[in-house]
A and B are shown apart, each in its own frame.
Chain A
Amino acid sequence: MCNKSYCCPSVKTISKRIIYINFHNFSLNTMLSDKKIVVKKQAYLINDEIADKIRQKMKKKNKLFFNIMGSIGAGKTLLLENLAERLSKFYKIFVINGDVATTIDADRIAKHGVATVQINTGGGCHLSAKLIQNELDKINVDEFDIFFAENVGNLICPAAWDIGAQLNVVVVSITEGEYVIKKHPIIFKNGQIAIINKCDLDGLGFDSETLVEDATKIKSNMKIICTSAKTGQGIDEFIEALGIKIPKEV
């Protein structure tokens, strides 16, 4: 045997989990052990922390941020076009559009003189706080007053993902059938404003009454507004419900 400390190692495997490597005058041991870590943290924690940061930042900077959710074809984009048209005279607006593919929505809204960005989720069925944060990081938030996110057309998944908005708006149209609210209660439970859209078709084989009644039963303090993004019906009331003041034109 030599006299150097770090030579002549001999490896002794006790079991799969314990290995002794013996050197001249000391032994380096590695041992695999099981450990249970008590976590007790919400699964959505990382998303919710980012969402809270966005909300606090917007509040601190005195900005408004709304999450517009609803199914495909409910009229979210046309409603936003209406809002953009009316609000862009007084406020700087930034709209984030979420879709699986294409920039159709962002392009449509951009025609009304507001800044837009399209997020393509690929296959994702909802926006998340991280996706919003990524877009906000690319712009100077101070340059804008009001932010809208048009979520991916879906009445299920967006309900579970907080994106940091101050208010959640759920849009349904009367052409989606009279059971649409009953079938998707969670998203309405999590919303503060329910927009019943396409009310210009009321009485023409479609009915807004059942949807208004259901929205009231799902959540008593829900603000419910019947709109028609096509005719402009209810848009002023919608703007008021969002807490946006339109200065009187002189």
Chain B
Amino acid sequence: MHEYSLASAIVDQVKEIAIQNNAKKVKKITITASPYEMVIPELLQDAYKIITDEIVTFKGSKLELSILPAKISCLECEYKGEPDKEGDQEFAFNFKCPKCGSRDTHLDMQYLTIQSVDLEILEEFTTEV
């Protein structure tokens, strides 16, 4: 259940962003993941709620997760991009390269990304009457 660690990693990073921007509240965090990121969305949401319920700035905020298409790198022809639609019955993650047909492909795991953060900012200014 590494979703808890992942939720903590997201909150830690956004905490910094909130401080830098003098935010009073974090309203929404938008993240994207590949379909094979080993993340169970429901567990991630549960973990996020448990963590953020304890933090005033984050309480009630939303974590929005959208899934992007998988990306592969072909180890034979060096193609990088979306895999062929045809799956592999035997090996769940041996995607087929659409360019050369090889299944010697590496799944790009590194794009579980925080895309944006919606903040409520407290601005103070003075005006002369």
Contacts and interface: CB of A to CB of B under 8 A. Distances in A.
Contacts of B24: 32
Contact of A33 (B17, B92, B116, B123): B123
Contacts of B122: 30-32
Interface string A106-119: 00000000000000
Contact of B91 (A25, A34, A156, A185): A185
B6 A126 contact: no
B51 interface: no
A43 B13 contact: yes
A31 B124 CA distance: 6
Contacts of B23: 35
Interface residues of B, number: 49
Contact of A34 (B13, B92, B93, B119): B119
B125 A29 contact: yes
B112 A35 contact: no
Nearest to A31: B123
A157 B43 CA distance: 14
Given A26-B127, A189-B93, A39 B36 contact: no
Contacts of B128: 25-27
A214 B90 CA distance: 10
A24, A34, A43, most chain B CB atoms within 10 A = A43
Given A39-B114, A46-B12, A217-B91, A125 B1 contact: yes
B68 interface: no
Interface residues of A, number: 46
A37 B17 contact: yes
A45 interface: yes
Nearest to B102: A220
Contact of B21 (A37, A46, A186): A37
A207 B128 CA distance: 84
B99 interface: no
Given A156-B38, A185-B92, A125 B2 contact: yes
Given A182-B91, A186-B36, A28 B126 contact: yes
Interface of A: 22-47, 124-126, 128, 156-157, 159-161, 182, 185-186, 189-190, 214, 217-221
Question: Shortest 3 CB-CB distances between A and B: which pairs?
Answer: A157-B2, A185-B93, A39-B114
Interface of B: 1-2, 5-6, 9-10, 12-14, 17, 21, 23-24, 27, 31, 36-38, 75, 90-94, 103-104, 106-107, 109-129
